[in-house]
Amino acid sequence: MNDKIIVPLDVPTLDGAIALLDRLPQVSFWKVGLELFISTGTDILKILKERDKRIFLDLKLHDIPNTVAGACRAAAKHDVDFLTIHATAGRAALQAALDGVRGSKTQLLAVTLLTSLDARELAFDLKVPLELPEYALHMALLAEETGIHGAVCSPREVSQLQRVCGDDFTFVCPGVRPTGSAIGDQRRVMTPSQALKAGATYLVIGRPITAASDPIAAWEQICQEMESVS
Ligand SMILES: O=C(O)c1cc(=O)[nH]c(=O)n1[C@@H]1O[C@H](COP(=O)(O)O)[C@@H](O)[C@H]1O
């Protein structure tokens, strides 16, 4: 069983999510994101618990400290393993988020820079004057300094981030595409084995598995490719 792959339940209905769980019993770690959570609420969290699955609740919080703390407290009550907050919420919000999950098993992950963005957008649309890898590193360090447990980053930046943030920091990498699969809206991608070699602790792999004509075969092929790394 490959416990390094987190598969997102990026579907709009509970039935659709359950169909994926039934189809891929090998998957031990699932991500619940905005589409499913906004559409169906917390029911999916109970279902995942009943099936003994690990849960990444990907709400990408980005708000003032007081609001973030309350949201984190509420999420931590569901006993989720990971919860996301944007690093750009700032130091005080990151600290408030930590206060919110204190005493629970929930670990916070700070999103450094969405994997759908590229260097041109960072410079020209977001007007960030730093080079992209330097900006991602800065965001990861801000999170690490405040005591956040890990970061969400592109596999393209993970080796540099890991060198600086150290081994105790968890690195969750979306933007993973097996050779030949459609890149879609992702911009900074690597293959599963490249991402693992670069230092990712976990890989988030969605459409290459969930949108495949045969999701089980797609999962098995990815697992096989990753075995070559260890
Ligand atoms: O926080 C995330 O999980 C996330 C951060 C990021 O920078 N990029 C990113 O793609 N994600 C999530 O990772 C998943 C990637 O899905 P696929 O592109 O289908 O593999 C989606 O559920 C995204 O919401």
Active-site residue 81, yes or no? no
Ligand 1 contact via 174 beta carbon (within 6 Å): yes
Q: What is the complex's ipTM, to 2 decimals? A: 0.99
Give residue 230's pLDDT band: very low, low, confident or very high (50, 70, 90): low
Rounded CA-CA distance 31/10 in Å is 8
Provide the β-strand partners of residue 93: none
pLDDT value of residue 172? 98
Mind listing the pLDDT tens digit for each residue in 27-80?
Answer: 999 999 999 999 999 999 999 999 999 999 999 999 999 999 999 999 999 999
Ligand 1 contact via 144 beta carbon (within 6 Å): no
Q: Measure the CA angle with vertex 167, ends 89 and 204; round to 5°.
A: 60
Mind listing the pLDDT tens digit for each residue in 82-114?
Answer: 999 999 999 999 999 999 999 999 999 999 999
Tell me the whole-structure pTM to 2 decimals: 0.97
Binding residue per annotation — 203? no
Mind listing the pLDDT tens digit for each residue in 113-131?
Answer: 999 999 999 999 999 999 9
Active-site residue 58, yes or no? yes
Rounded CA-CA distance 48/130 in Å is 40
Assign 176 to helix, strand or coil: strand
The structural architecture, per CATH, of the domain 5-227 is Alpha-Beta Barrel (3.20)
